[in-house]
Chains A and B, each alone.
Chain A
C-alpha cells in the first residue's frame, strides 16, 4: 500500500548551510527514484531522479545519493536558500506501475 505519514518530520537549517534530507525505501527491487519538492497549496515539483545503476547524481545545487545496500536515499541541497523551504518527498518506482511515496520531510530555512 501507499505510505501515508501521520506527521511530517521537520528539518531546520540555517540559510546558506547545506541540507540533507533522508528517505528509506521499502522494495529492494526498485530501480528508479525521484525526489519532489512541494510548496504549500501546490502540486509536487520534480527535482531530480536517479536510476539504480547509479550511486550519485548531481543537479543544480542538489545531489541525490542512493545506497541500495540499506535501501536509503538522500537529497542534499547546497547553500540552502529561503526559497527551498517546502516539503520534500522521495518516491520509488513500483515495478513501472505507479510510485510509492515516502512520508515527506518539511525543510525550514532559518534566516
Chain B
C-alpha cells in the first residue's frame, strides 16, 4: 500500500502555545489529504479536507481559525493547533487518497497531542 508519514508521533505542549503536525505522502502525490481527530474508544471524526493549492474544507463544528491547515505541495499537508488548550488533547490522524474515486485511502501513524 501507499505510505503516509506523520510527524511528530507525540507532542506535549503548554496551554496557549501552537503545535504543528506534518503529514507527508512518501511514494505518491496527494492532491487531497484528510485530517481526523479520534477520542478514546471512538471512531475517526473528519475535521477537514486539505486541498493542494487551495483552502481547506472544514467539517461543521470545526474551528478553522483554531485548526489551521496548509497543503502547500502535493506531498505535504500541515495541521497547526493554535493556542492549544487541554480540551484539544487528542489523537490526530491524517490520510491521503491514492488517485480518485474508488481508490484506497491510507493513513499516517497518528499524532498524540497532550496540552498541559
Interaction A to B: yes
Closest B residue to A31 by beta carbon equals B102
Stretch at the interface among A62-70, A74-82, A94-102: A94-102
A interface, CB within 8 angstroms of B: 1-8, 31-32, 34, 36, 41-46, 49, 51, 89, 91, 93, 95-99, 101-104
From A46, A93, A95, B106 is in contact (CB under 8 Å) with A46
With contacts A49-B104, A93-B102 taken as known, whether A8 is within 8 angstroms of B6 at the C-beta atoms is no
**Is A98 touching B100 in the complex (CB atoms < 8 A)?**
no
Closest B residue to A97 by beta carbon equals B49
From A3, A96, A102, A104, B100 is in contact (CB under 8 Å) with A96
**Is A4 touching B45 in the complex (CB atoms < 8 A)?**
yes
Can you report 20 A-B residue pairs in the complex whose CB atoms are below 8 A from each other? A4-B43, A5-B41, A31-B102, A32-B102, A34-B105, A41-B112, A42-B110, A43-B108, A44-B44, A44-B95, A45-B107, A46-B104, A51-B102, A91-B105, A93-B101, A95-B101, A96-B100, A98-B34, A104-B42, A104-B43
What range describes how many residues of B lie at the interface?
A: 20 to 34
Cα(A67)–Cα(B22), bound, Å: 38
Closest B residue to A32 by beta carbon equals B102
Main secondary structure of the interface of A (DSSP, over half): loop
Is B109 interfacial (CB-CB < 8 Å)?
yes
Closest A residue to B6 by beta carbon equals A43
Chain B contacts for A98, CB-based, 8 A: 34, 46, 49
